[in-house]
């Protein structure tokens, strides 16, 4: 019953997500100068971008909730800065917003991998997580058994958001298995939305962070999240390399949030 309710709301959720993102999308900026903490402090505004979803920012009834949203609010309290939050669906779009200086910080759970570490600075870890396969259970999939061995993904099609850090792991897995793995990078949907599409039967496989996947599993009947795709990774927020002082400030604020107990309260609420 809970699954049918969520799937029935699927179209509405996507419409609301697009509408909210349109309202909160970062505005294009002409400024090409260096923007570090001094410029941010002088303006009094810290601009962040996150995702629409359980791990980012979402509308629940008449309130706004989300793990990143709550952390961002805590950052506003300890920093004394006015915080503006914009939304993007995919990580690729978030990095474009950061590169264009439409925002100062990407406030998402970003796995800190070697291929993106060279281009950006990352905060101290916000969470530790790993990527898992989202698939339907045998009962929800006509008796087709779930995949437990990653090698059995050969020839399968897996959907991920555009710019997802899972891409590198899936490409490595393809080399390991010596067979073809069809990877679809979706430009429109987040990993959470793709997971809902798996539950609805629109697609067969997607990849999502395990912490978020477990929350989705509690709300959607018929999905399995117990097959690991990657190893446990440190996940953090990102800033431009031109902003090392902002990075130090963010780390200081995050430490304050941990020390005063706010982080633990936020973490328990969402995970």
Tell whether 65 and 154 lie within a shared domain.
no
What is the pLDDT at residue 8?
A: 52
The pLDDT value given to residue 49: 97
Task: Report pLDDT for 5.
Answer: 53
Residues 177 and 216 in one domain: yes
Distance of CA 121 to the CA centre of its chain: 17
CATH of the domain at 152: 3.40.190.10
Closest CA to 208 of 199, 217, 195, 218: 195
One domain, residues 7 and 67: yes
Query: Do 84 and 211 sit in the same domain of this protein?
Result: no
The residue-averaged pLDDT of 63-72 equals 94
Q: Which domain holds residue 25?
A: 2-126+236-270
The phi, psi pair for 269, rounded to 5°, reads -65, -35
Out of 58-62, 72-76, 83-87, 245-249, pick the least confident: 58-62
pTM assigned to the model? 0.82
Mean pLDDT, the chain, rounded, equals 88
Q: What share of the chain has pLDDT > 70, as a percent?
A: 88
What's the pLDDT band for 1 if we cut at 50, 70, 90? low
Pair (253, 212) in one structural domain: no
Is the pLDDT confidence value at 271 over 90?
A: no
Q: Are 122 and 136 in a shared domain? A: no
Residues 106 and 73 in one domain: yes
Shared domain check, 115 and 12: yes
Residues 219 and 250 in one domain: no
Q: Indicate whether 210 and 108 sit together in one domain.
A: no
The total of structural domains in the chain comes to 2
For residues 52 and 73, membership in a common domain is answered with yes
DSSP track, the chain? -HHHHHHHTHHHHHHHHHHHHHHHPPPP----S---HHHHHHHTEEEEEE-BSTTSBEEETTEEE-HHHHHHHHHHHHH--EEEEEE-SSHHHHHHHHHTTS-SEEEEEEE--HHHHTTEEE-S-SEEE-EEEEEE-TTTTTTPPPP-SGGGGTT-EEEEETT-THHHHHHHHHHHHTS--EEEEESS--HHHHHHHHHHTS-S-EEEEHHHHHHHHHHSTTEEEEEE-S--EEEEEEEETT-HHHHHHHHHHHHHHHHTTHHHHHHHHH-
pLDDT tens by residue, 119-169: 999 999 999 999 999 999 999 999 999 999 999 999 999 999 988 888 989
**Rounded mean pLDDT, 107-115:** 89
The pLDDT, as a whole number, for residue 53 is 84
Q: Are residues 191 and 213 in the same domain?
A: yes
pLDDT in the model for residue 18: 47
């Amino acid at each position: 019953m809970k699954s049918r309710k969520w799937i029935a709301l699927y179209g509405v959720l996507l419409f609301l997500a697009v509408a909210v993102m349109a309202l909160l999308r970062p505005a294009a900026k002409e400024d090409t100068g260096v923007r570090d903490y001094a410029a941010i402090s002088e303006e009094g505004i810290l601009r962040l971008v996150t995702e629409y979803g359980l791990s980012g920012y979402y509308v629940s009834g008449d309130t706004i909730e989300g793990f990143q949203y709550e952390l961002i609010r805590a950052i506003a309290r300890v920093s004394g800065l006015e915080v503006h939050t914009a939304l993007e669906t995919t990580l690729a779009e978030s990095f474009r917003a950061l590169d264009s200086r439409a925002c100062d910080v990407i406030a998402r759970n970003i796995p800190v991998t070697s291929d993106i570490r060279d281009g950006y600075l990352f905060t101290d870890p916000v969470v530790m997580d790993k990527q898992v396969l989202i698939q339907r259970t045998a009962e929800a999939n006509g008796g087709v058994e779930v995949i437990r061995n990653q090698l059995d993904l050969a020839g399968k099609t897996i959907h991920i958001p555009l710019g997802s850090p899972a891409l590198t792991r899936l490409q490595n897995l393809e080399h390991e298995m010596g067979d073809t793995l069809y990877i679809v990078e979706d430009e429109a949907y987040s990993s959470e939305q793709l997971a809902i599409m798996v539950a609805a039967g629109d697609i067969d496989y997607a990849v999502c962070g395990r912490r978020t996947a477990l929350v989705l599993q509690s709300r959607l009947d018929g999905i399995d999240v117990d097959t690991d795709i990657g190893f446990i990774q440190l996940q953090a927020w990102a800033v431009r390399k031109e902003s090392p002082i902002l990075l130090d400030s963010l780390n200081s604020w995050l430490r304050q949030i941990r020390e005063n107990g706010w982080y633990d309260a936020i973490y328990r609420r969402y995970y």
